[in-house]
Structure 1
Amino acid sequence: MTVLRARGYSIRTEQAYVDWVGRFLGFHHWRPADSLSGSEVTAFLAHLAVNRNVSASTQNQALNALVFLYRHVLEQETGSWEGFSRARKPKRIPVVLSRQEVAQLLGRLKGVNRLMASLLYGTGMRLMECVRLRIMDVDFSYRQIRIFHGKGGKDRMVPLPERLIADLEAHLQGVRELYEGDIADGNGEVFLPDALAVKYPNAAREWKWRYLFPSARLSVDPRSGRVRRHHVHESALQKSVKRAADELGLRKRVTCHTLRHSFATHLLEDGYDIRTVQELLGHADVSTTMIYTHVLGRGGKAVRSPVDRI
């Protein structure tokens, strides 16, 4: 764990990697990791792929965890097994809601969940990018939101929707009251990445570093043991969106990520170029963004079915 933290990995990645290393060692009857070679690694990976039939993303996460273990902890060469059966995720056309369906879905949500879902659709940000927003990331003057350390460790700017400004300002008043209460009770700290915490030792108690969507409860930081107010858990919004979609009777698989897909597709429908959409979504490769062009065709690439001519 020390090596993971020194390299700035998130606590979720840390927990996942530690879990996979434990499964790997357990699979080989808890033999020391430095006594296991590439053949044992490939046997475990083959077990996951063939016997457990885990998804492509799960296979790749297990492989990444073992590569990290051998390369950075044990400082051994990973050799040819590093590329063993690196699973390819199947390319699926994203589920997209119509504008009317988005309006109906947002109309079913209330309070903070509605505000967060509106930001997902209005900016195209990912769920965890929204959950982890800080007060200072919202720039009302320039009408933009900074996504700090998004997927791939990249920063980017997204537009701040005009119609959400009043709701955000009202929301911030409540967050401010919560912050002042925490300060008065001696619980005013918020989590900061290690490098920032060292460089700015007082920043953890400053207003601008607070989470935009703080949790209703204080919690104990699993790394430091300090009592802090973390951000809301993403599952609350996930459950609310699913429940709203079920209540509406939508016959699509609707998740929080569906709002991001809808954002991208609707921008392309409005005539924005693919490079602009790529930048807003934070895609490293434009080919990832191109998947949304497939959604725009009517009936399979705009082909008119012959049955419609009968």
Structure 2
Amino acid sequence: MSAKKKLLDLVRDKIRVKHYSYSTERTYVHWIKHYIFFHNKKHPIEMSKNEIEEFLTFLATKKRVSPTTQNQAFAAILFLYREVLGVDISEWNIQALRAQERKHIPVVLTKEEVKSVLQNIPPAYTLLVHLMYGCGLRMNEALNLRVKDIDFGFDKIYIWNSKSLKDRTVPLPQKLKAKLLEQVEIVKNIHKQDFKEGYGSVFIPYALEKKYPHAKFETKWQFLFPMKNISQDPRTKEKRRHHVMPQTLGRNIKVAAQKANLHKRVTSHIFRHSYATHLLQVGIDLRSIQELLGHKSVETTMIYTHVVSEMNKSKLISPLDF
């Protein structure tokens, strides 16, 4: 048991040396632990190609995980062997049974349904959700916005380090400009009060914190949508103000959809899907939408053409109605 704990500590240390996010750390540790327990706590150095294939096949056939989840588990195992144990498993040619990939057409909301949900979002999260729909942002992109990312002079919003690892800008919705200016003032006042109480720092990626050691105390680096309370950083144990938690925002969106009497499955991502679909419906070209969404490939964006196509089918009528 102690040997296993020591191994996981080594994994955490290596992840932190490479400056991976805390969520990646938790995910990798989870899958590595799962892999070890699946093989009755056998040490990974004593296992090889067959054990990895057996575990990944188990995830696909018994646990019926998605392809994304199976790839996530494999990435964790790959990290364990390559970065922690110093074993290059790329030569092993892993041939596990792959999880079945399903192609889903995204669920979208009509403009009226979007409006209905937005009307039921609590005031503390209204501007945040408006931004997600108005700019097509992923939840984490919206939550990670800093004061400095809103360019009021050129009416654009900067999105850094997105899922595609490609920085981009999106137009700042004019209807939200006044509210965003108010939000910046709110953040300034919160930050000023935090300083008075002995806090005032904010999380900054390691490389930037090392380059600009005082940046974490500057107002421009503060999160645009901060938490109500000071919290403790799980890694450094430093007490500071983080952004609104994804679970909190997700819960409020779900409740708002229920209050709006929608029977669709409404998640934070449905606003991004709706944004892209509504742009297509008014004639914005696919390539522009690809850039606005930050997709690496236009093929990813093309899923929304299928959504619009399905919507057009609703104009067809049944033979019973002839």
Q: Same fold (TM over 0.5)?
A: yes
- Mapped to 2, the partners of 1:72 and 1:112 lie a distance apart of 42
Match status 1:281 vs 2:293? yes
Q: Deviations over 1:274-310 (max 9, x none)?
A: 0000001011111110010111125675783452652
Asked whether 1:184 is paired with 2:211, we answer: no
Q: What are structure 2's unaligned runs of at least 5 residues? A: 1-11
1:165 aligns with 2:167: no
Identity of aligned residues (%): 42
Deviation at 1:5, TM superposition (A): 2.2
Within 5 Å, give how 1:28-39 maps onto structure 2. 28-39=39-50
Out of 78-87 and 101-110, give the one that drifted further. Answer: 78-87
Separation of aligned partners in 2, 1:181 and 1:115 = 22
Which residue pairs with 2:212 in the alignment?
Answer: 200
Whether contact under 8 Å (2:60, 2:98) holds in the other structure is no
Match of 2:186 in 1: 174
Does the residue aligned with 1:251 lie in a helix, a strand or coil? coil
**Partner SS state of residue 158, structure 1:** strand
Which stretch has the larger CA shift, 124-133 or 7-16? 7-16
Q: Residue 104 of structure 1 aligns to which amino acid in structure 2? A: S
Is it true that 1:15 corresponds to 2:15 in the alignment? Answer: no
SS at match of 1:157: strand
**Alignment partner, residue 68 of structure 1:** 79
Match of 2:227 in 1: 215
Tell me what 1:27 maps to: 38
Residue 6 (structure 1) shift? 2.7
Q: Which residue of 1 aligns with 2:56?
A: 45
Secondary structure, aligned partner of 1:189? coil
Q: Distance in 1 between matches of 2:93 and 2:233?
A: 36
In structure 2, distance between residues paired with 1:252 and 1:23: 34
Residue pair 2:160, 2:168 contacting (<8 A) in 1 also:
yes
Partner of 2:3: none
**Which of residues 269, 272, 280 is equivalent to 1:268?**
280
Q: Is residue 63–residue 82 contact of structure 1 (8 Å, CA) maintained in 2?
A: no
Corresponding position of 2:8? none
Quick one: which of 142, 145, 158 aligns to 1:146? Answer: 158
| TM-score w.r.t. length of structure 1 | 0.95
- Output the amino acid matched with 1:293: T
Displacement of 1:159 after TM fit? 1.2
1:231 positional shift: 0.8
Q: How far apart, in 2, do the equivalents of 1:236 and 1:46 lie?
A: 34
Q: CA deviation at 1:84?
A: 3.0
Using the alignment, how far apart are the partners of 1:83 and 1:11 within structure 2?
30
User: Contact 1:67 / 1:82 at 8 angstroms: preserved in 2?
Assistant: no
Calculate the TM-score normalised by the size of structure 2: 0.91
1:112 is displaced (CA, Å) by 2.8
Deviation at 1:251, TM superposition (A): 2.3
Structure 1 residues 209 and 82: CA distance shift in structure 2, 3 A: farther
Q: How many residues are matched?
A: 310
Structure 1 pair 80/152, CA: closer, same or farther in 2 (3 Å)? farther
Equivalent residue number for residue 230 of structure 1:
242
Give the counterpart letter for 1:168 in structure 2: L
Q: What is the alpha-carbon distance in structure 2 between the residues aligned to residue 277 and residue 83 of structure 1?
A: 37
Q: How far, CA to CA, are the matches of 1:218 and 1:82 in structure 2? A: 45
Displacement after TM superposition at 1:54 (Å): 2.2
Q: C-alpha separation between the residues in 1 aligned to 2:121 and 2:104?
A: 28
How much is the aligned-residue C-alpha RMSD, in angstroms?
1.7
Give, in whole Å, the separation in 2 of the partners of 1:66 and 1:212. Answer: 36
Q: SS of the residue aligned with 1:255?
A: coil
Question: 1:123 — aligned with what?
Answer: 135
Aligned residues of 1:41 and 1:81 also touching (Cα < 8 A):
no
1:29 Cα deviation from its structure 2 partner: 2.0
Please tell me whether the aligned partners of residues 60 and 86 of structure 1 are also in contact (alpha carbons under 8 angstroms). no
- Partner letter of residue 254 of structure 1? V
Q: Distance in 1 between matches of 2:33 and 2:122?
A: 41
Do the aligned residues in 2 keep the contact of 1:124 with 1:259 (CA within 8 Å)? yes
Partner of 2:4: none
> Is the contact made by 2:57 and 2:98 (CA closer than 8 Å) also made in structure 1?
no
What is the CA–CA distance in structure 1 between the aligned matches of 2:292 and 2:246, rounded to whole Å? 22
